[in-house]
Amino acid sequence: MKRMPDFLTASRGMIAAGIILLGIRGPDALRLVILLTVIGWTTDILDGRIARRYYKQATWIGEREFVFDVTLIFSGLCYLVMAGFIPFLPAAVYLASAAVFIIYFHSKAITMLFAFPAVVLPFAVAYFNAPWAALLYAIWVVAVLLIDWQRFKGVVLEFIENARAIQKR
């Protein structure tokens, strides 16, 4: 149980790699991509709960949890481009712009701001191309919000706090 939070966090990296590789299969893999995304975000919820319950000190992987989260987020965008749902050039411009802003401001809030559309895009694409997968994703989101509203509220408040810190620069 001691290594479980790290395993769950690292698994998001493996899930992200799998999602990117599914881009080779094309649009037919969309349902699986949505399922893997749901599994990935479930590991995010579980790793934090287990780590907070049993351990006080962050490990090397735990300190980089946000990197694993962002990797999972942008793997969905990579899949959507590789599968042909989103044209390469707009995605590349978006990612390049995101990189410039993230590097310049070096802020979690800026990263979250650019990550949000990449979180929503797989759901939006699934809504039109794999409605049952989109429904699964929506049910999962609602269930998570009902079960763990405080965590969601904490993420939003952290974003606001980080955004205010940018304003003070």
Checking if the pLDDT of 94 tops 90, the result is: yes
Residue 143 is predicted with a pLDDT of 95
% of the chain exceeding 70 in pLDDT? 98
Residue 44 is predicted with a pLDDT of 92
Checking if the pLDDT of 2 tops 80, the result is: no
Residue 95 is predicted with a pLDDT of 95
Checking if the pLDDT of 56 tops 70, the result is: no
Listing DSSP states for the chain in one string gives -TTHHHHHHHHHHHHHHHHHHHTTTGGGGHHHHHHHHHHHHHHHHHHHHHHHHH-SS--HHHHTHHHHHHHHHHHHHHHHHHTTSS-HHHHHHHHHHHHHHHHHH--HHHHHHHHHHHHHHHHHHHHHH-HHHHHHHHHHHHHHHHH-HHHHHHHHHHHHHHHHHHHT-
Higher-scoring residue by pLDDT: 11, 167: 11
Residue 164 is predicted with a pLDDT of 84
Overall average pLDDT of the 103-126 stretch: 93
As a whole number, the mean pLDDT across the chain is: 92
| Ranges of each domain in the chain | 4-167
